[in-house]
Structure 1
């Protein structure tokens, strides 16, 4: 009798286990950056936190690499609900929240704390409200990673003048206007094609965060590296709004907190790794140079009024960001 009771108990336990397993919610998380880039590692960290903190109640299916297309293409899929979540550079928020183009304007933020304060502000919530309601994309978190620097195939002259240099930019209007204001010739090239573009002379240079650029071997194609620190690179983790609302309030809080912790994690990771990355570039033949960025800063500031008048972002937004 005891044996029969034990068998029935084990069977009941197995059924309960299968029931809980069947109730696990699935979250499809996508990357559109290079494997082992900071953003890729942030996404992996987020996935691990979600599964661990939910005790397996949320199963994260992480699709890494660039299998599903460029960031704008992935954003379209996220909006349509054909995938659930997307971890990427914060600059891509601008494709659905145009005012966030200010993130990619030169010398807008004083330091990492200023960037974090902006992302945690009511101002940022207001800038992204329409993307939640209209595009069905909710930013779970965002934060800084590290300042972006410049990679050039040929050395600048002593004035640091970028006039005539063909600079690679992503498909973001603010980058087009910024590098035009600096005097360069902005040229759109996909991130994964930049190395070849510099090698073949399609562009004379590119810019980006060191920890991401090294995975694309920018310094090998363009060994003249300038510490312009002109824009803070950022990261964000977004989720389809309908998918987010399908979770319980407890799981919504869990996802939000895991994303926030992952944004802080990737900032710390990028900061700690920055010097070793620069050393690695030096070993690969790059010449790392400091540069007086005052002329670049002045050019960017002088163009703010005109780009606001053109509607790149709402008039007065630059000044509001300075107050955060």
Structure 2
């Protein structure tokens, strides 16, 4: 582990050091190194480029040097580099911020949020603003903002039509305890696999399925090995931007304002783009992978059918989805107050947000 960490820090130093040798511009400006880790063409990758471009177009004194792909390591490794200060900013899934707050584990746990609007309201609440300050003070990493994206979908070789179909299903999971516990609560068998290795894991049968945002999954070709796409709106994707707190405090007020404005603009763009691109990505994957789109939502089935054909969609009964929801929430309540999990009463606090 130590050698692996040292290797990534060394790579970071080479990449960033080489870039730092570029000629200095005449006008003083601050350049932040931003990593988005995901493959070229994914929504998160494009968000990193857009952040850079917005600041350029704005003529801001703070600039962005965008490091694309997993050059500096995986999301967890780059997150740690941000905490250490060798990378300034990371844009990634909120799941990788969960080590900084037990509450954030709830954002990557099945069925805790009623719908997309509910999750958005929670992130816009005063509670979340206070949490960002607390994380910055205690962990040295500040959450600048979050984009609430569409729901993740399951990509499997089988066609789930009931709660029982999740029993024993080997679902790829990041090495995060909240995801592992969430899949177990549904009766599945979570199997940790790095994001960039999921396609091979699906091909070889190491896992039976993966769970991800379709627009992000498409460039990774999961659908060619696991063509059936099941969308139960059990867990929504959340993209967060995290900056090293020391680096943030070193920025001038204007630089902070410019960066915050750009982050907010990118988040709005991500949410809007993801909703449209998600349905388009699903339809395209169904054509390429010859699978089915399975959902409890009639509106979503109709939207996909309009692009891919009615024969490509199937219903997941609401009664079966309710069984999975009850299983997940029952397990979540048992964990409340336990070491390493959210505090007692947090689930009720979340549900109270309108």
> Does the alignment reach a TM-score above 0.5?
yes
Structure 2 Cα separation of the partners of residues 46 and 193 of structure 1: 27
Which one has more relative contact order, counting CA pairs under 8 Å at least 6 apart? 1
Q: Name the structure 2 match of 1:314.
A: 343
Would you say 1:266 and 2:270 are equivalent positions?
Answer: yes
Please, which of 102, 110, 132 is the counterpart of residue 98 of structure 1?
102
TM (norm. structure 1) is 0.90
Would you say 1:28 and 2:57 are equivalent positions?
Answer: no
Would you say 1:49 and 2:54 are equivalent positions?
Answer: yes
Larger deviation: 29-38 or 158-167?
Answer: 158-167
Contact 1:119 1:143 in 2 (8 A): no
Q: Name the structure 2 match of 1:305.
A: 333
| Consecutive unaligned residues in structure 2, runs of 5 or more | 1-22, 296-315
Q: Name the structure 2 match of 1:5.
A: none
Contact 1:100 1:127 in 2 (8 A): no
Contact 2:51 2:262 in 1 (8 A): yes
Structure 1 Cα separation of the partners of residues 221 and 127 of structure 2: 37
Structure 2 Cα separation of the partners of residues 155 and 29 of structure 1: 39
Alpha-carbon offset, residue 77 of structure 1: 0.4
Contact 1:101 1:172 in 2 (8 A): no
Contact 1:89 1:234 in 2 (8 A): yes
- 1:5-26 CA-to-partner distances (Å, cap 9, x unmatched) read xxxxxxxxxxxxx997340111
Q: Name the structure 1 match of 2:77.
A: 73
Contact 2:61 2:255 in 1 (8 A): no
SS of 1:207's partner is strand
Contact 2:160 2:230 in 1 (8 A): no
Please, which of 126, 135, 142 is the counterpart of residue 139 of structure 2?
135
Q: Name the structure 2 match of 1:4.
A: none
Q: Say which one has the larger Rg.
A: 1
SS of 1:161's partner is helix
SS of 2:343's partner is coil
Q: Name the structure 2 match of 1:233.
A: 237
SS of 2:26's partner is helix
| Consecutive unaligned residues in structure 1, runs of 5 or more | 1-17
Closer, same or farther: CA 107–220 of 1 in aligned 2, 3 Å: same
Q: Name the structure 2 match of 1:294.
A: 322
Please, which of 60, 67, 74 is the counterpart of residue 63 of structure 1?
67
Alpha-carbon offset, residue 310 of structure 1: 2.6
Larger deviation: 133-142 or 287-296?
Answer: 287-296
Contact 1:141 1:263 in 2 (8 A): yes
Structure 2 Cα separation of the partners of residues 78 and 159 of structure 1: 40
**What is the root-mean-square deviation in Å for CA atoms of aligned residues?**
1.8
Structure 1 Cα separation of the partners of residues 175 and 226 of structure 2: 21
The number of equivalent residue pairs is 306
SS of 1:59's partner is strand
- 1:223-262 CA-to-partner distances (Å, cap 9, x unmatched) read 1221222101011111111111111111111111211111
Would you say 1:208 and 2:237 are equivalent positions?
Answer: no
